[in-house]
Amino acid sequence: MTVDIVIAGRRIRLQSEEGVTLVPDERFRAFAVPSDVNPYMFIDTAPGILADADPGSNYAVIPFMAGETDPDLVVDVEFGAGEIPAWAVKVFDARLMEEFPGGVRNSGEPFWEVFRDDEAVRTRVFLRDPERSAVLEMPHGKMQWRIFADTLHNAIDSRSPQKPYPTDHQPPDHSDNTSGAQPQSGPGHDNSGTPSVTEAFATEHMTQTSGDDKSRVHSRTGLTPDRHGSDLSAEDASADISDITVDPLPWPLDGLLLYFLFSRAGDIMIHGSGVVAGGRGWLFTGRSGSGKTTLAGIFDGADDRVIHDDRLVLRREGGRWVMHSTPVYRNDEPRTAPLDHLWVIRHGAANVSEPVAGAEAVAMIMANCIQQNWDPEAAARMAAAADDLAASVPVSRLSFLPDGTVRDYLLLRATDDKTVAAGALLEMLDGGHAVTVTAGGYSMWPAIRPGDTVVIAPCGTSLPEAGEIAVLRRDGGYVIHRVTRVISREGVLLICTQGDAVTREDEPAGTAMIAGVVRKIIRSGMEIHQHRRLLPRRVNRLAAYIASVLSGYSR
């Protein structure tokens, strides 16, 4: 039997010997295609051509009937138990973890492990319901792999009564509001017994999520969390081979297979939320609990298109990076969009988007990608892909408030006119030239008022001191706020700023975010003395509000 599935544009052919029926889990249903059909033909969407095309996508997907399409990967599914050769070396070991609101606890139970020898890389996964192990065998340099599903090792009669999968079972939770103990994989260890950098792969990216926060998103997008009930079954140990039904990709073996496939192809698998807003593809990534699901819910609630809120694949296609969904939830479907901006996120006291570039951007991307540091070739491919991504797509650090204001903030800064104007100002400051701008907004009231002329000078080699008014770089613009203090955190100097009429302090900024210092403030043709803040910020804020109302009445 042959089953073809296409995920992120990669065609995977699952095949078994005669008499063995392959039944992939329900979450792969929308990704399956007939083995003799070319899965996709992409064309540019033009108004009036496709009335039902997704308005959030730059591509329309049309089934294209053609001849046999060569798969990117062929997987032979065996119903017996696989063996790990005695000479193979264990290079990675992940243990089952339990996640609580207060942290993570190692259960000590095996979850999956990786072995390597001169012939192949083999991954053994410990499955439940029923308890068994599956082995994924990947010969070096070949794209024909084998899965040993271990169906006869612990056979089940699919027609006889058996313990049902609990209806209230929830798979491992990685929502931003974790509740209760949840199993997850990790942490990783290399063959020396020391914690491995690949722990991020084990602890975060090979789990599936259906916490309360994610369930709300899925109720709108149509995604239903999968409960991981296995369809893998057999009549009994002596059953005729024609009676065997196999789930070829039980969780978490499915995610491991996809990861190794995409890694060999030079693609990136990343844990994050991808959305399309204002015609732009945005990706939010970060550590567990940083707010990925929260952001997906905010954009979904505004009827923006959510590509996925858990696990995405990034591919270089047609000269640009494109993000793809992967099958995680029960009724997932293929979704794709070009990637226009990537943010590494965290909860903050205000919405602040700061651009990063170069080695810092590459490091931030790699810290949130699935990777295997025990394989030098795979590590090199990952570094090269992350470097190309950081050079091709804007990367930023985003602190945000968990409400709709963050969407408005990002959309406002994505407009072309603001981006061009801010870019010109910052480029002049970087070139050592002073710049004159007209102030807008009330955050520095009364020191700087709307309509004031502000002269900004480059910082040079010195940093602004507490009390001075600095210009901070922001995506799509800049902000002018007063320096409150300069601190050192782990040997790194950080500038703390705050508007005179703003009650919350800005997120501490690195020195690279300081674009210049205000040297003059001119009002009605006269230079105003730059005095330090005299009144409490709440008083300034109230006065600024009254002034803005009166200004509105006077127009």
CA torsion angle for 423, 426, 430, 431 (degrees, to 10)?
Answer: 70
Closest by alpha carbon to 249, among 31, 24, 489, 490?
24
Report the pLDDT value the prediction gives residue 160, as an integer from 0 to 100: 28
Please state, in angstroms and rounded to a whole number, the distance separating the CA atoms of residues 361 and 77.
40
| Number of helices followed by number of strands (H, E) in the chain | 9, 31
- 441 versus 499: which is more confidently predicted? 499
Residue 357, pLDDT above cutoff 50: yes
Average pLDDT of 314-325? 94
Task: Read off the tokens for 283.
Answer: 């990706």
- 364 versus 529: which is more confidently predicted? 364
Q: Label the pairing between strands 144-148 and 73-78.
A: parallel
Closest by alpha carbon to 233, among 248, 253, 212?
248
Would you tell me the crossing angle of helices 292-301 and 405-413 to the nearest 10 degrees?
Answer: 80
Least confident of 23-37, 63-77, 137-151, 233-247: 233-247
Report the pLDDT value the prediction gives residue 474, as an integer from 0 to 100: 77
Residue 197, pLDDT above cutoff 60: no
CA torsion angle for 44, 47, 51, 52 (degrees, to 10)?
Answer: 50
- 225 versus 438: which is more confidently predicted? 438
- 429, 458 contact by CB (below 8 A): yes
pLDDT tier, 268 (very low <50, low <70, confident <90, very high otherwise): very high
Mean pLDDT, the chain, rounded, equals: 76
- 444 versus 186: which is more confidently predicted? 444
Average pLDDT of 288-305? 91
Residue 58, pLDDT above cutoff 50: no
pLDDT tier, 104 (very low <50, low <70, confident <90, very high otherwise): low
Average pLDDT of 163-183? 32
Extended beta strands in 101-237, E state: 103-116, 120-127, 132-139, 144-148, 182-189
pLDDT digits (tens, 9 = 90+) for 393-430: 999 989 888 888 899 988 887 665 566 666 677 778 88
pLDDT tier, 312 (very low <50, low <70, confident <90, very high otherwise): very high
Residue labelled with tokens 């990216």: 205
Q: Label the pairing between strands 244-246 and 20-22.
A: parallel
Report the pLDDT value the prediction gives residue 364, as an integer from 0 to 100: 92
- 269, 370 contact by CB (below 8 A): yes
The domain spans of the chain are 2-83+116-165+177-254, 266-414, 418-524
Residue 46, pLDDT above cutoff 60: no
Report the pLDDT value the prediction gives residue 372, as an integer from 0 to 100: 73
Considering the chain, what percentage of its residues have pLDDT values greater than 90? Answer: 29
pLDDT digits (tens, 9 = 90+) for 497-551: 988 888 888 888 888 888 889 999 999 889 888 878 878 888 888 888 888 887 7
Considering the chain, what percentage of its residues have pLDDT values greater than 70? Answer: 73
The DSSP element (H or E) to which 545 belongs, if any, is helix 537-554
Average pLDDT of 168-177? 35
Choices 2.60.40.1180, 2.60.120.10, 2.10.109.10, 3.30.1330.60: CATH for 418-524: 2.10.109.10
pLDDT digits (tens, 9 = 90+) for 14-43: 998 888 888 888 889 899 987 555 544 443
Residue 209, pLDDT above cutoff 70: no
pLDDT tier, 330 (very low <50, low <70, confident <90, very high otherwise): confident
- 98 versus 433: which is more confidently predicted? 433
Q: Residue 58: helix, strand or coil by DSSP? A: coil
Residue 115, pLDDT above cutoff 50: yes
Q: Which residues pair with 274 in a beta bridge?
A: 283, 308
Report the pLDDT value the prediction gives residue 282, as an integer from 0 to 100: 96
Residue 457, pLDDT above cutoff 50: yes
Residue 458, pLDDT above cutoff 80: yes
Please state, in angstroms and rounded to a whole number, the distance separating the CA atoms of residues 256 and 146.
13
pLDDT tier, 198 (very low <50, low <70, confident <90, very high otherwise): very low
- Is it true that 266-414 and 418-524 share their CATH fold? no
Report the pLDDT value the prediction gives residue 476, as an integer from 0 to 100: 65
Choices 3.30.750.24, 3.40.50.10860, 3.40.50.300, 3.30.70.250: CATH for 266-414: 3.40.50.300
Least confident of 67-81, 211-225, 539-553: 211-225
